């Protein structure tokens, strides 16, 4: 009777050990975490998280918000002083080849608000479609003959501070992405020389991301164009500080 009791106890212990062993072994054979699909796209590195959306909205707002005084940029080596006022705002008065574009905007007083500066002078110059300036030099306009000067001149703002001009899409050249130079001045205000960074075209050698001058300017200076009656148009507002 005692032997039967001991045998029964041993059998029960053996059974318990077998059950415990099977339970432990089953855990090691389950699929690993790397085989399990991610719980959501954010973990997988695809799709857009809420933080990404907020960042994109901030970038967009920065690119379209003109708040803050217009940022100064180098005038570059090809600034010619004393160029003439444009007729009907046409900077391409010599009919050089290239796609026609229009630039418009306002000149405002101060870093915020919409107080217009009437009679402000906006000088403009840029490279032609091939990336050459006319002249490819600097100094007073009187140093050059009339046929040596092109894609240079100025417009004045009206009583609402509004200006506009038409020109051609500026070309790129070694070391610079496409851009337009401007020098904006007005009585009683500090003048500012800056650059409008123009969108790249397919096949361009340099983008705005690779251009140090473009990167030194606010996102607002990287303008975008919208087709209006078949002509690409962009808006750029200037903000000047009082003397």
Residue ranges per structural domain of the chain: 69-240
Question: Per mean pLDDT, which range of 11-20, 37-46, 89-98, 134-143 is the poorest?
Answer: 37-46
- What values do phi and psi take at 135, rounded to 5? -80, 165
pLDDT band, residue 210 (cuts 50/70/90): very high
- The more confident residue out of 28 and 65 is 65
Question: pLDDT tens digits for 87-124?
Answer: 999 999 999 999 999 999 999 999 999 999 999 999 99
What would the mean pLDDT of 78-83 be, rounded to a whole number? Answer: 98
Residue 240's contacts (CB-CB under 8 Å, 6 or more residues apart) are 69, 70, 107, 108, 109, 110, 117, 120, 184, 186, 189, 190, 191, 192
| CATH code matching the domain that covers 69-240, chosen among 3.90.950.10, 3.90.1150.10, 2.60.130.10, 3.40.50.300 | 2.60.130.10
What's residue 63's pLDDT?
63
Return the pLDDT at 64.
73
- Supply the pTM of this predicted model: 0.75
């Amino acid at each position: 009777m005692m032997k039967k009791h001991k045998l029964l106890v041993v059998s029960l212990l053996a059974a318990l050990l077998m059950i415990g062993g099977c339970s432990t072994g089953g855990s090691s054979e389950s699929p690993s975490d790397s085989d399990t699909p991610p719980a959501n796209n954010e973990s997988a590195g695809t799709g857009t998280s809420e933080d990404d959306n907020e960042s994109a909205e901030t970038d967009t707002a920065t690119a379209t918000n003109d708040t803050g005084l217009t940022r100064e940029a180098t005038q570059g080596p090809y600034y010619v002083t004393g160029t003439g006022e444009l007729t009907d705002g046409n900077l391409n008065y010599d009919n050089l080849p290239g796609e026609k574009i229009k630039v418009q905007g306002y000149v405002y007083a101060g870093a915020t608000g919409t107080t217009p500066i009437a009679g402000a002078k906006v000088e403009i110059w840029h490279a032609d479609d091939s990336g050459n300036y006319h002249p490819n030099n600097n100094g007073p306009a009187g140093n050059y003959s009339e046929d040596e000067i092109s894609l240079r001149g100025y417009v004045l703002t009206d009583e609402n501070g509004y200006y506009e001009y038409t020109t051609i899409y500026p070309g790129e050249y070694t070391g610079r992405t496409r851009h337009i130079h401007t020098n904006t001045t007005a009585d009683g205000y500090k003048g500012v020389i800056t650059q409008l960074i123009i969108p790249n075209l397919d096949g361009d050698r340099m983008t705005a991301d690779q251009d140090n001058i473009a990167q030194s300017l606010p996102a607002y200076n990287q303008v975008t164009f919208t087709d209006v009656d078949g002509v690409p148009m962009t808006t750029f507002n200037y903000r000047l500080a009082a003397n």
